[in-house]
A and B are shown apart, each in its own frame.
Chain A
Amino acid sequence: DVKVTQSSRYLVKRTGEKVFLECVQDMDHENMFWYRQDPGLGLRLIYFSYDVKMKEKGDIPEGYSVSREKKERFSLILESASTNQTSMYLCASSSRVGAVGEKLFFGSGTQLSVL
């Protein structure tokens, strides 16, 4: 089975801190994604990556950056955390962008609280 592992289940940070959220997948997938999930707003795409060292902005990239130095690892960075970034963060991976049957595999999420 595909496994997408997010490094932390719960995280509490202070306003202004730099925050790193790590995600690792073990199925050699080309594509990786970061979403945030908020009540009433659903899942919103922050950034995605089709390949190592490549990144594309999603729908809500402001205040975030990403890093993909290795195929299996995709990091989300909050340069200066703010309270409105308190959310559930979900990492996902998939193979073959745009292909019929392309499926997203999600990690279990990181619940980030910014105080």
Chain B
Amino acid sequence: QKEVEQDPGPLSVPEGAIVSLNCTYSNSAFQYFMWYRQYSRKGPELLMYTYSSGNKEDGRFTAQVDKSSKYISLFIRDSQPSDSATYLCAMRGTNAGKSTFGDGTTLTVKP
């Protein structure tokens, strides 16, 4: 069983929709939780970074972490065609730069 499981998608939504992207994990040592966005033929770029449980908001994006359920989510409000990309969740413990990634969810936002 993988340490990080990500909803596989693909996901296709109309412009303006609210998008929910989700990951579950099994390693209780994970404390740092990230979401990366990867456009086609590009490397991933960090979108959101949270520590421990709680919510973090940045513009149209909200990252949510529930450590008791080992579940993290990324919400995108008022989705735009420019949000079309693959979204990767990632997480790590305290002692290294070794992040464990989910497989990614490909999102398409249709105008």
Interface residues of A (CB under 8 A from B): 4, 31, 33, 40-45, 48, 50, 58, 90, 92, 94, 97-98, 100-109
Contact = CB atoms under 8 A, between A and B. Distances in A.
A106 B97 contact: no
A104 B46 contact: yes
Interface stretch (B56-64, B77-85, B101-109): B101-109
B9 to A, nearest CB: 12
Contacts of A43: 44, 88, 90, 101
B41 A98 contact: no
B46 A103 contact: yes
B79 to A, nearest CB: 23
Contact of A98 (B36, B44, B94, B104): B94
27 contacts: A31-B97, A40-B103, A41-B103, A42-B6, A43-B44, A43-B90, A44-B101, A48-B97, A48-B98, A50-B97, A58-B98, A90-B43, A92-B43, A97-B97, A98-B94, A98-B95, A98-B97, A100-B32, A100-B51, A102-B32, A102-B97, A103-B46, A104-B44, A104-B99, A106-B43, A107-B43, A109-B42
A44 B43 CA distance: 14
Most-contacted residue by chain A among B43, B88, B102 (CB, 10 A) = B43
Interface string B86-97: 001010001111
Given A33-B97, A40-B103, A90-B43, 10 more contacts: A42-B103, A42-B104, A44-B101, A48-B98, A94-B97, A97-B97, A98-B97, A104-B90, A104-B99, A108-B43
A106 B44 contact: yes
